[in-house]
Amino acid sequence: MNNKQEKKTTVEDAKIKIKKRSENFSQWYLDVIAAGKLADYSPVRGCMVIMPNGYSVWENIQRVLDKMFKDTGHKNAYFPIFIPESFLKKEAEHVKGFSPELAVVNYAGGKKLEEKLVVRPTSETIIYDSYAKWIQSWRDLPVLINQWGNVVRWEMKTKPFLRTTEFLWQEGHTAHATYEEAEKEALQMLNVYQKFVEEYLALSVVIGRKSESEKFAGALDTYTLESLMQDKKALQCGTSHNLGQNFAKAFDISFLDQEGNEEYVWQTSWGVSTRLIGALIMTHGDDKGVVMPPRISPLHLVFVPIWKNKEEKKKNTKEAQRLAESLPEEVRSHIDDRDIRPGWRYYEWERRGTPLRIEIGPNDVEKNQSVLVRRDTGEKITVPNKDFSRKVVQMLEIIQKNLFERAKKMQEENTHTVETWEDFCELIRTKGGFIKAPWCGLDDCEAKIKEETKATIRCIPFDESSAKKSCCIYCGKQARDVALFAQAY
Ligand SMILES: [Zn+2]
> How far does the centroid of ligand 1 lie from the alpha carbon of residue 429, in Å?
21
- Please state the pTM of the whole predicted model: 0.94
Is beta strand 415-417 parallel, antiparallel or unpaired with respect to 434-439? parallel
Task: Of 429, 437, 475, give the one whose Cα is nearest residue 454.
Answer: 429
> How far does the centroid of ligand 1 lie from the alpha carbon of residue 478, in Å?
8
pLDDT tens over the chain, length 489 residues: 344 444 444 445 556 799 999 999 999 999 999 999 999 999 998 999 999 999 999 999 999 999 999 999 999 999 999 999 999 888 878 788 888 899 999 999 999 999 999 999 999 999 999 999 999 999 999 999 999 999 999 988 899 999 999 999 999 999 999 999 999 999 999 999 999 999 999 999 999 999 999 998 889 999 999 999 999 999 999 999 999 999 999 999 999 999 999 999 999 999 999 999 999 999 999 999 999 999 999 999 999 999 999 999 999 999 999 999 999 999 999 999 999 999 999 999 999 999 999 999 989 999 999 999 999 999 999 999 999 999 999 999 999 999 999 999 999 999 999 999 999 999 999 999 999 999 999 999 999 999 999 999 999 999 865 556 689 999 999 999 999 999 999
Phi and psi torsions of 308, nearest 5°:
-110, -25
> How far does the centroid of ligand 1 lie from the alpha carbon of residue 477, in Å?
6
> How far does the centroid of ligand 1 lie from the alpha carbon of residue 476, in Å?
6
> How far does the centroid of ligand 1 lie from the alpha carbon of residue 213, in Å?
14
> How far does the centroid of ligand 1 lie from the alpha carbon of residue 439, in Å?
5
> How far does the centroid of ligand 1 lie from the alpha carbon of residue 11, in Å?
57
Calpha distance 61→161 (Å, rounded)? 14
Whether residue 450 contacts residue 459, with contact meaning beta carbons closer than 8 Å, is answered with no
Whether residue 228 contacts residue 410, with contact meaning beta carbons closer than 8 Å, is answered with yes
> How far does the centroid of ligand 1 lie from the alpha carbon of residue 479, in Å?
7
> How far does the centroid of ligand 1 lie from the alpha carbon of residue 441, in Å?
7
Calpha distance 419→470 (Å, rounded)? 8
Calpha distance 473→398 (Å, rounded)? 42
> How far does the centroid of ligand 1 lie from the alpha carbon of residue 187, in Å?
28
Task: For 194-220, give the secondary structure using H, E and C.
Answer: HHHHHHCCCCCEEEEECCHHHCCCCCC
> How far does the centroid of ligand 1 lie from the alpha carbon of residue 254, in Å?
40
> How far does the centroid of ligand 1 lie from the alpha carbon of residue 438, in Å?
9
Under the phi-then-psi rule, with left for phi > 0, alpha for psi from -120 to 50, and beta for the rest, what region is 258?
alpha
**Domains of the chain, earliest start first:** 13-80+126-284 (3.30.930.10), 294-398 (3.40.50.800), 415-486 (3.30.110.30)
Whether residue 394 contacts residue 387, with contact meaning beta carbons closer than 8 Å, is answered with no
> How far does the centroid of ligand 1 lie from the alpha carbon of residue 440, in Å?
4
Task: Of 42, 65, 267, give the one whose Cα is nearest residue 167.
Answer: 42
> How far does the centroid of ligand 1 lie from the alpha carbon of residue 212, in Å?
14
Supply the pLDDT for residue 16: 79
Phi and psi torsions of 454, nearest 5°:
65, 5
> How far does the centroid of ligand 1 lie from the alpha carbon of residue 215, in Å?
19
Largest CA distance in the chain: 83
Supply the pLDDT for residue 369: 95
> How far does the centroid of ligand 1 lie from the alpha carbon of residue 96, in Å?
26
> How far does the centroid of ligand 1 lie from the alpha carbon of residue 489, in Å?
24
Task: Of 8, 25, 27, 250, give the one whose Cα is nearest residue 125.
Answer: 250
> How far does the centroid of ligand 1 lie from the alpha carbon of residue 421, in Å?
11
> How far does the centroid of ligand 1 lie from the alpha carbon of residue 471, in Å?
8
> How far does the centroid of ligand 1 lie from the alpha carbon of residue 461, in Å?
18
> How far does the centroid of ligand 1 lie from the alpha carbon of residue 219, in Å?
24
| Cα of 74 vs its chain's centroid, Å | 21
Task: Of 266, 160, 265, 272, give the one whose Cα is nearest residue 225.
Answer: 272
> How far does the centroid of ligand 1 lie from the alpha carbon of residue 415, in Å?
21
Alpha helix segments (H runs only) across 238-301: 246-251, 275-284
> How far does the centroid of ligand 1 lie from the alpha carbon of residue 186, in Å?
29
Calpha distance 261→456 (Å, rounded)? 43
> How far does the centroid of ligand 1 lie from the alpha carbon of residue 203, in Å?
32
Residue 315's Cβ-side half-sphere holds a number of Cα atoms within 13 Å equal to: 14
Whether residue 297 contacts residue 198, with contact meaning beta carbons closer than 8 Å, is answered with no
Supply the pLDDT for residue 403: 98
Supply the pLDDT for residue 83: 96
Task: Of 331, 339, 346, give the one whose Cα is nearest residue 310.
Answer: 339
> How far does the centroid of ligand 1 lie from the alpha carbon of residue 435, in Å?
16
Distinct helix (H) and strand (E) counts, the chain: 15, 23
> How far does the centroid of ligand 1 lie from the alpha carbon of residue 93, in Å?
25
> How far does the centroid of ligand 1 lie from the alpha carbon of residue 211, in Å?
13
Q: Which amino acid is at 336?
A: D
> How far does the centroid of ligand 1 lie from the alpha carbon of residue 449, in Å?
9
> How far does the centroid of ligand 1 lie from the alpha carbon of residue 475, in Å?
4
> How far does the centroid of ligand 1 lie from the alpha carbon of residue 422, in Å?
14
- Burial of 235 (C-beta count, 10 Å sphere; 0-12/13-18/19+): buried
User: Which three-class secondary structure state does DSSP give residue 249?
Assistant: helix
3-state DSSP: the chain helix, strand, coil percent, rounded to 5? Answer: 40, 30, 30
Is beta strand 301-305 parallel, antiparallel or unpaired with respect to 205-209? unpaired
Contacts of 432 (CB under 8 A, 6+ apart): 231, 232, 233, 414, 486, 487
